């Protein structure tokens, strides 16, 4: 088992991102959507790199946008061959660390109601269901589950709601 390291994504990672994206979603984001997020100073874009080679090979990524009241998880994906190693959990926990001083913002995301693996992962990380967006996904009109997690303080405790 090799170690996985996290670092910020850069434009040079786009080709590798695209490969994982296409293997992960029925309606993948385009390269320009990722490039747009990478260019925003308010976004957090993390890549997980399998540190086997000298540079490391991209095995997963997390894209998060800062909104007024919340950090919005826009995209999280892990290469199929590297799933169930805790890589997605590691990236989301790093997000909590990076934003721990931000007592104002919680975390939110939408997930397909059929995506049991992702829902279990988010619940384990403290996200709770907060409602449904009917027909949110345009490819098959699937509903989205809206999930929310309150701000995480740097000492690990959560603020009261
Ligand atoms: C959802 C997704 C990002 C999860 O990535 P991941 O890196 O496999 O997630 P984790 O490894 O942290 O957790 C997934 C499972 O692996 C298990 N796991 C984690 N580390 C493990 C280890 N060392 N050994 C065995 N199992 C482990 C977790 O317990 C979890 O199991 P569960 O599903 O039974 O609860 C990935 O499946 C994916 O890319 N899916 C397609 C894109 C997608 O749906 N993204 C979410 C959109 S909202």
Q: What is the pTM of this model?
A: 0.93
41 Cβ neighbours under 8 A, 6+ residues apart: none
Show the tokens assigned to 93.
């926990």
Ligand 1 touching residue 153 (CB < 6 A) = no
CATH number of the domain located at residue range(s) 4-149 in this protein? 3.40.630.30
Cβ atoms of residues 88 and 121 within 8 Å:
yes
- Ligand 1 centroid to residue 108 C-alpha, Å: 18
Cβ atoms of residues 125 and 92 within 8 Å:
yes
Ligand 1 atom closest to Cα of residue 124: 35
pLDDT tens-digit profile, the chain (161 residues): 579 999 999 999 999 999 999 999 999 999 999 999 999 999 999 999 998 766 789 999 999 999 999 999 999 999 999 999 999 999 999 999 999 999 889 999 999 999 999 999 999 999 999 999 999 999 999 999 999 999 987 665 555 44
Out of 54, 93, 110, 136, which one is annotated catalytic?
110
Cβ atoms of residues 82 and 51 within 8 Å:
no
Tell me the domain boundaries of the chain.
4-149
Q: Is 93 a catalytic residue?
A: no
């Amino acid at each position: 088992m090799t170690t996985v390291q996290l670092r910020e994504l850069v434009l040079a990672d786009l080709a590798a991102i695209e490969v994982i994206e296409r293997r992960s979603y029925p309606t993948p984001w385009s390269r320009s959507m990722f490039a747009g997020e990478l260019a925003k100073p308010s976004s957090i874009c993390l890549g997980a790199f399998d540190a086997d080679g000298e540079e490391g090979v991209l095995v997963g990524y997390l894209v998060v946008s800062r909104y007024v009241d919340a950090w919005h998880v826009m995209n999280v994906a892990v290469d199929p061959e590297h799933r169930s190693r805790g890589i997605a959990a590691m990236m989301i926990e790093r997000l909590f660390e990076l934003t721990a001083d931000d007592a104002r913002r919680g975390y939110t995301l939408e997930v397909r109601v059929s995506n049991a693996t992702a829902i279990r992962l988010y619940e384990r990380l403290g996200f709770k269901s907060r409602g449904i967006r009917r027909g949110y996904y345009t490819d098959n009109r699937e509903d989205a589950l809206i999930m929310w997690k309150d701000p995480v303080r740097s000492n690990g405790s959560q603020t009261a709601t």
